Amino acid sequence: MNTNYGIKIWSDNNFIIKNSTVNVNYKNKPSLLEITNNVRNKGYKGPILLRFPHLIKKQISTLYNEFNRAKKEFNYQGDFQAVFPLKVNQFPNFVNSLMEVSKTYNYGLEAGSKAELIIAMTHTPMGAPITVNGFKDKEMIALCFIAANMGHNITITIEGLGELETIIEVNHEFNKKREIPVIPKIGVRIRLHSAGIGIWAKSGGYSSKFGLTSTELLEAYELIQNNNLLEQLWMIHFHIGSQMSDISPLKKALREAGNIYADLKNRGASALNAINIGGGLAVEYSQHAHAKEINYALSEFANDVVFVLKEIAKNKEIAEPDIFTESGRFIASNHSVLIAPVLELFSQDYHEKSLRLKEINPPLIVELYDLWVSLNRATAREYLHDGLDHMESLLTLFDLGYIDLEDRSNTEILVNLIIKKSILLLKDDGTEELQKLQNKIQERYLVNFSTFQSLPDFWGLKQHFPMMPIDKLDIKPTNPATIWDITCDSDGEIAFDGELPLYLHDVDVTKDEYFLAFFLTGAYQEVLGMNHNLFTHPTEVIVEFDEEGNYTLEKLIESQNIMDVLDDMDYDKNWLDKKLKYQLEESTLINQTQKRELLGKLYLYLSENSYLKTIQASNEESS
């Protein structure tokens, strides 16, 4: 990885580097820096989540286009349809954008809980498919019946025999007095022998939480038949797990599911008409060519699905089924970018101005100083070695009590200055030794965000997300970087990894703002994100583009203020408020005027979100 942070590998051309900045590769191609500054100038500090609806649209149309192309290529007769699994991202600014950009596709939603079902019932256009997966109780099944009665095209996917029995019961209650019954469509989720792979593999396979075994399937079929519901049975469903890095398990699963479909069809399930292949379509998160996560392209995926199903249909002499997908990650990941300001560089203190040189310094310190001053390209390597040697000696001298704390501090600073200067002079050499040295002396970047809130899959699953600075891209970054978030948890760290190195710029953030962008955060991260340390969902905004190609900022939602965060945890806001006020009023340390002033300050702080302002801002206030 050079100065381009592997952007060609992971960005799918959605973002490009233009001179010194990373830009949105759409319409007038604004830089992320410009957009970020625009939001911050409105007074919003802390991390900012940018949403790009044009990227959701791109994913949806790519998905439909590829499947339609494959259908044409193989002369496939079934339809292609997709739904979005809400569990991947239920935030209204996302869901509303999704529905807006997918209008021409008859695109629907998949719900896995009652609350998600309510989102689906209120956001899916009439006629577009709603599928309902996951464990269901009687109430949830009744909600599906209510949706069907509204006119929704809704399919209940049966995950177990018990659910089918409940459907029969609810059907009886809803329809016993009606001449023309209204019943949701029925799908059955099948438990496959073939399992997914990767860290999300658990949703497929025989030990999966979901789906019917062959024995249960036969029982279910008979139950459906005996209760006159065969007309409703129209879909077979499977899902082999998320972020499928390799295509072969899908092919196996397709053959298994296809043959089950054909068997049921030939057995008399005349209304059966669709195979739902679930999600699993993967996203390339890697920034490094040697660590790519996927070995197939969407075109291959679509070809395989269409080809395998066509073949089975031909062999078993049945009509080619409609194909449904429930891709979530593929649709949502790339639409959002998290921008987080760097607050501090750990070694920023190691600055010339911090040196406390004495009238008379220990000889080794004098030598260190000379090394630093006289170091040039030719001598860099040698002086660097000498400097590191001297440091060892000086630290030993300190331990033995021969030099004092000021000498020790001067040592730290001088060695750091020597290292920085030599790295800068040697940066184009690319020698292995320099690389090793660089990797050893990582810089820690304190970044104003929470990994727990914004990259929970990094914390929980070590999933890598592409990250890069949004500016200074015309300068070669030289600092091997470890990222620290602002939680008080030592797990809130993205440590430097020599195998997948991240280099950032040496900046003085007290003079110059420096932002990191985290990409592909649109799937799962937002809703899995947790309020560890009570850092909540970041300030978010939709970036839309108009006819002229200019962008506008829409539907900005600020990160929750401190009182609302506590209110959400069921603290009594009024009580907290009274308690704080009371303590100030009762204080004997200050007078009335001071109390009033502090009360004003207190209320200001309570109305703000819990992320940090910049370090400069806090300095200004205390000075």
Ligand X SMILES: *Cc1c(COP(=O)(O)O)cnc(C)c1O
Report the interface residues with ligand X, using CB under 6 A.
85, 87-88, 133, 203, 239, 242, 278-281, 326-330, 523
CB 283, min distance to ligand X, A? 9
β-pair partners for 609: 561
| Tokens 């970018």 found at | 337
Closest CA to 89 of 279, 315, 367: 279
CB 85, min distance to ligand X, A? 4
Q: Do 303 and 70 form a contact (C-beta atoms < 8 A)? A: yes
Structure tokens at 397: 């001298």
Closest CA to 465 of 3, 6, 36, 1: 6
CB 300, min distance to ligand X, A? 16
Q: What is the bridge-based pairing of β-strands 233-237 and 185-189?
A: parallel
CB 209, min distance to ligand X, A? 10
CB 250, min distance to ligand X, A? 12
| Residue nearest to ligand X as judged by C-beta position | 279
Q: Do 276 and 131 form a contact (C-beta atoms < 8 A)? A: yes
Which residue number, 204 or 387, has a Cβ lying nearer to ligand X? 204
CB 468, min distance to ligand X, A? 24
CB 436, min distance to ligand X, A? 39
CB 297, min distance to ligand X, A? 16
Q: What is the CA radius of gyration of the chain?
A: 30
Which residue number, 172 or 209, has a Cβ lying nearer to ligand X? 209
Spatial distance between the Cα atoms of 280 and 467, rounded to a whole number of angstroms:
23
Which residue number, 277 or 345, has a Cβ lying nearer to ligand X? 277
CB 347, min distance to ligand X, A? 40
The secondary structure of residue 291, as a DSSP letter, is G
Spatial distance between the Cα atoms of 21 and 260, rounded to a whole number of angstroms:
53
Which residue number, 242 or 453, has a Cβ lying nearer to ligand X? 242
Which residue number, 242 or 442, has a Cβ lying nearer to ligand X? 242
SS3 551: strand
SS3 482: strand
85 C-beta neighbours (distance < 10 Å), count: 25
Burial class (CB in 10 A: 0-12, 13-18, 19+), 231: middle
CB 135, min distance to ligand X, A? 12
Which residue number, 21 or 81, has a Cβ lying nearer to ligand X? 81
CB 310, min distance to ligand X, A? 23
Amino acid in the structure at residue 157 = T
CB 237, min distance to ligand X, A? 7
Spatial distance between the Cα atoms of 14 and 334, rounded to a whole number of angstroms:
8
End-to-end CA distance of the chain: 42
Which residue number, 31 or 334, has a Cβ lying nearer to ligand X? 334
Closest CA to 337 of 543, 502, 535: 543
Which residue number, 59 or 327, has a Cβ lying nearer to ligand X? 327
Which residue number, 243 or 451, has a Cβ lying nearer to ligand X? 243
Which residue number, 78 or 522, has a Cβ lying nearer to ligand X? 522
Which residue number, 67 or 330, has a Cβ lying nearer to ligand X? 330
CB 170, min distance to ligand X, A? 22
Which residue number, 85 or 129, has a Cβ lying nearer to ligand X? 85
Phi and psi torsions of 523, nearest 5°: -110, 130
Burial class (CB in 10 A: 0-12, 13-18, 19+), 470: buried
Q: Do 99 and 84 form a contact (C-beta atoms < 8 A)? A: no
**Separation of CA 457 from chain center:** 8
Closest CA to 308 of 298, 321, 297, 295: 321
H or E, element range at 580:
helix 573-586
Structure tokens at 372: 């630093």
Q: Which residues contact 58 (CB under 8 A, 6 or more apart)?
A: 14
Spatial distance between the Cα atoms of 525 and 420, rounded to a whole number of angstroms:
36
CB 328, min distance to ligand X, A? 3
Amino acid in the structure at residue 32 = L
Q: Do 529 and 537 form a contact (C-beta atoms < 8 A)? A: yes
CB environment 602-622: b (16+ within 10 A), e (fewer): eeeebeebbbbbbbeeeeeee
Please list the alpha-helical segments (H only) found in 111-160.
114-123, 138-150
396 C-beta neighbours (distance < 10 Å), count: 11
| Tokens 């658990």 found at | 202
354 C-beta neighbours (distance < 10 Å), count: 12
Which residue number, 55 or 507, has a Cβ lying nearer to ligand X? 55
CB 414, min distance to ligand X, A? 52
Which residue number, 143 or 281, has a Cβ lying nearer to ligand X? 281
Which residue number, 160 or 328, has a Cβ lying nearer to ligand X? 328
Spatial distance between the Cα atoms of 103 and 57, rounded to a whole number of angstroms:
10
CB 326, min distance to ligand X, A? 4
